[in-house]
Structure 1
Amino acid sequence: MQASSRPVISNQQGLHPRLAQTVRRHLEQPCLSPLAAHNRAAWDTLAQQLASDPRPLVLDSFCGTGMSTAQLATAHPQHLVIGIDRSAHRLALHQGEHGQYVLLQAECEPLWRELARAGYRVDFHYLLYPNPWPKARHLQRRVHGHPGFADLLALGGRVELRSNWPLYVEEFGVAMHLAGVRGCVQTVPEAPPLTRFEDKYRASGHTLWRYQGRIR
């Protein structure tokens, strides 16, 4: 029997009061922190793959076990699909042969930066159920509050973020709007789950939300 999942609980009831200030600061001040050793190793692996595979790119950031990465590779057979997650434990749970896609153990934001610096752009970028960091003091750990948000924008493409916390998706949409990107927030339609989290949240009766937009 699948364990139930509780809705996100937060001490933040509306948009974070420093959201706009934080987003604008990161857009004006690029992240310059050096690559950690494990992120460097992941980037070196990815750079070699990109040098030998000229297909357009799909990113599956915060991919967890890679369940979504495998499905996205099927949905985008003409693309190189790259799944990235910081957890070696979750990636070790991946089931399936990944000859048609790449799974990397690394933080997502540093790899976004290296891809952007190297001149790469993506056709599609999926961010499926990232850690919501629901405490108000953790704004800068959320995707849209992190310094790496500017690098996400630099990669371009069609962006889709999903969460079971509607405020997270709303904040992401506001951040994208501040960056000049048009998009929409809506519920996720009924369909086979892309991730284990999506499956668990559906089974627990959560309403799932997504942002979709295109960075030109």
Structure 2
Amino acid sequence: MTGNSRQVTSEQQGCHPDLIDRVARHRKHEFQKPIADFNLHAFQQAEAQLTAHGGPLILDSGCGVGDSTRHLAEHYPDHLVLGLDRSGHRLQRQRPDLPDNALLIRTDLVDFWRLAAAANWQPARHCLFYPNPYPKPSQLSRRFHAHPVFPAMVTLSRQFEARSNWKIYLQELQLSLAVYGIHSLIEAIDSDSPVVSAFERKYRASQQPLWKLITQS
């Protein structure tokens, strides 16, 4: 199998010089953006499902077409796996027969994470596979670790994994987590390891180097 996905290119060749100041500012000032009604409804749906399940939770944030949610649900059959994505188009392309312990929900992560943090959710694991890296230096504030939502995100689980085909994204994420006293390890993804998502399958087919960040509690 071959692919034609282009590697991430950027004028930024290392961690953004404004990153730490941005993280510190967002840690100090609470994010006040109102929660959209449809995101509140999505969270209530998820909360009802979690209550009905009664077991541990895994969040698969930015799940796309749901392949990663399926992968996690199959590997953790006693967990409820919630796949979250804001794209209705991607979610409609989900493959059939999603495991019974998995649910895909259309929602904006920025609102959902804040609602989950306010409800003191403590997922057993939180996965963020191949988020949009927004690689232009001017797009720093659109990366989750430099966004006002980051303080809410870091409260959700100490067992956190992120994957990317742009190593700088994970290096920035690692520095941002360290501000909160959360240590993490970045390592290359072995080409023989199981594919976790549609994006990962595409990037591997294009022979791109891939990395993962895993927190160390």
Question: With structure 1 as the length reference, what TM-score do the two structures score?
Answer: 0.95
Structure 2 residues without counterparts, runs of 5 or longer? none
Deviation at 1:123, TM superposition (A): 1.0
Distance 1:199 1:149, change over 3 A: same
Query: In structure 2, which of residues 179, 191, 194 is the aligned counterpart of residue 192 of structure 1?
Result: 194
What letter is aligned with 2:105?
Answer: L
Question: Which residue pairs with 1:91 in the alignment?
Answer: 91
Q: Secondary structure at the match of 2:78?
A: coil
Give SS of 1:155's match.
Answer: coil
With 102-111 and 28-37 compared, the bigger mean Cα shift is at 28-37
Deviations 1:172-204 (A, max 9, x none): 111111111011111012223111111111111
- CA shift for structure 1 position 147: 1.1
Name the count of aligned residue pairs.
Answer: 215
Counterpart of 1:169 in structure 2 is: 170
What is residue 71 of structure 1 aligned with on the other side?
71
Shift of 1:2: 5.3
Mapped pair 1:143 → 2:122 = no
Deviates more, 1:30-39 or 1:197-206: 30-39
Q: Deviations over 1:59-81 (max 9, x none)?
A: 10000000000110011111111
State the alpha-carbon separation in 1 of the partners of residues 201 and 41 from structure 2. 32
Whole-angstrom distance in 1 between the partners of 2:38 and 2:3: 33
User: 1:30 & 1:73 partners in 2: Cα distance?
Assistant: 34
Please give the TM-score of this superposition, normalised by the length of structure 2. 0.94
SS at match of 1:131: coil
Distance 2:160 2:56 in 1: 15
Say whether the 8 Å CA contact 1:156–1:214 is kept in structure 2. no
Runs of 4+ with >2 A deviation: 96-99
Pair 1:7–1:30, CA change in 2 (3 A)? same
1:170 is aligned with what amino acid? Answer: Q
Q: Which runs of 5+ in 1 are unaligned?
A: none
State the match for 1:183 in structure 2: 184
- 1:30-179 matches, within 5 Å, as 30-98=30-98, 99-179=100-180
Q: Deviations over 1:149-183 (max 9, x none)?
A: 11111112311100000111111111111111011
Aligned-pair CA distance for 1:214:
4.0
Higher alpha-carbon deviation: 32-41 or 167-176: 32-41
The CA RMSD over aligned residues, in Å, is: 1.4
